[in-house]
Structure 1
Amino acid sequence: MEPGLVVGGRYRLASRLGRGGMGEVWASHDELLDRPVAVKILLAVLDDDPELAARLRQEARTAAALRHPAITVVHDVGDHDGHPYFVMELLTGRTFAALRSENGGTLPIERALALMAQVADGLAYAHNRGVVHRDIKPENLISDSGGVKICDFGIAHYAQASARFTKTGHTVGTAPFMAPEQWRADPVDARTDLYAFGVTLYLLVAAETPFAGPSFPAFAHQHLEIPPPRLSGVPANLADLVDRLLAKKAADRPASASEVAETLRAIRDNFAGAVGPQAPTVHKRRSDRPSAGQTTLTNTRAAMLRAGIRSGIRAFMLFVVVLCVSLPFLAPSDSWLAFGPWPVMLLTGVLIGVVAGCVVGTLAGLLSGSMGETDTVTLDNDQLTVTQRVRRKVNGKVVEISPRTFSVRWDALEHLAIEGKTHTTTLVGRFRPANEPPLAWAVEHGLQRREDGSYAIYGPTDRDLEKVDVGRLRDALPRYFGS
Structure 2
Amino acid sequence: MTAAETPALLAGRYYLERVLGSGGMGVVYRARDLLHEQFGEPNSAVALKVLGEPLSQVPDAPALLYSEFALTRGLLHPHVVRVFSFEVDTRNQTAFFTMELMHGLTLDQLLKERSGGLPWQALQPIAVQLLDALAYVHRQGVLHGDVKPVNIMMGEGGVRLFDFGLGHCQAQAEAGLPCLSRDRLNAWTPAYAAPELLVGSALTASADLYAVACVLFELAHGKRLGERHAAERLPRPRQLPRHCWAALRSALAVDPGQRTLCVAELGEAMARSGRRWFR
Q: TM-score, normalised by structure 1?
A: 0.47
Q: Confirm or deny: 8 A CA contact 1:230 1:239 kept in the other structure.
A: no
Supply the distance in 2 between the matched residues of 1:26 and 1:55 (Cα, whole angstroms): 18
CA distance 1:138–1:58, shift in 2 (3 Å): closer
**2:205 partner amino acid:** A
- 1:264 has 2:270 as partner: yes
The corresponding residue for 1:142 is 153
Structure of larger gyration radius: 1
CA shift for structure 1 position 15 = 1.0
The corresponding residue for 2:201 is 186
Aligned ranges 1:24-423 → 2 under 5 Å: 24-34=27-37, 35-43=44-52, 44-45=55-56, 47-48=58-59, 54=63, 57-58=66-67, 60-79=69-88, 84-153=95-164, 155-157=165-167, 161=180, 164-165=183-184, 170-211=185-226, 219=227, 222=228, 226-228=229-231, 229-233=234-238, 234-269=240-275
Q: Confirm or deny: 8 A CA contact 1:121 1:258 kept in the other structure.
A: yes
CA shift for structure 1 position 104 = 3.5
Structural RMSD (CA): 2.9
Q: Confirm or deny: 8 A CA contact 2:19 2:27 kept in the other structure.
A: yes
Three-state SS of the structure 2 residue aligned to 1:148 is: strand
Q: Confirm or deny: 8 A CA contact 1:99 1:107 kept in the other structure.
A: no
Q: Confirm or deny: 8 A CA contact 1:4 1:14 kept in the other structure.
A: no
Bigger proportion of residues as helix: 1
**1:17 partner amino acid:** L
Residue 26 of structure 2: which of 23, 27, 34 is its match?
23
**1:75 partner amino acid:** F
Supply the distance in 2 between the matched residues of 1:128 and 1:117 (Cα, whole angstroms): 16
CA distance 1:9–1:174, shift in 2 (3 Å): farther
Q: TM-score, normalised by structure 2?
A: 0.79
Three-state SS of the structure 1 residue aligned to 2:16 is: strand
Supply the distance in 1 between the matched residues of 2:222 and 2:94 (Cα, whole angstroms): 36
- 5+ residue gaps, structure 1, are 212-218, 273-483
**2:246 partner amino acid:** D
Supply the distance in 2 between the matched residues of 1:16 and 1:58 (Cα, whole angstroms): 22
Supply the distance in 2 between the matched residues of 1:268 and 1:178 (Cα, whole angstroms): 31
Three-state SS of the structure 2 residue aligned to 1:86 is: strand
Three-state SS of the structure 1 residue aligned to 2:81 is: coil
The 4+ residue runs of structure 1 with deviation greater than 4 A are: 53-56, 78-84
Supply the distance in 2 between the matched residues of 1:150 and 1:78 (Cα, whole angstroms): 23
CA-to-aligned-CA distance 1:326-374 (integer Å, 9 cap, x gap): xxxxxxxxxxxxxxxxxxxxxxxxxxxxxxxxxxxxxxxxxxxxxxxxx
- Please say which of residues 62-71 and 251-260 is displaced more in the overlay: 251-260
Sequence identity (%):
29
Supply the distance in 2 between the matched residues of 1:257 and 1:92 (Cα, whole angstroms): 26
- 5+ residue gaps, structure 2, are 38-43, 169-178
Supply the distance in 1 between the matched residues of 2:79 and 2:257 (Cα, whole angstroms): 26
- The higher relative CO (CA closer than 8 Å, separation ≥ 6) is in 2
**How many residue pairs are counted as aligned between the two chains?**
252
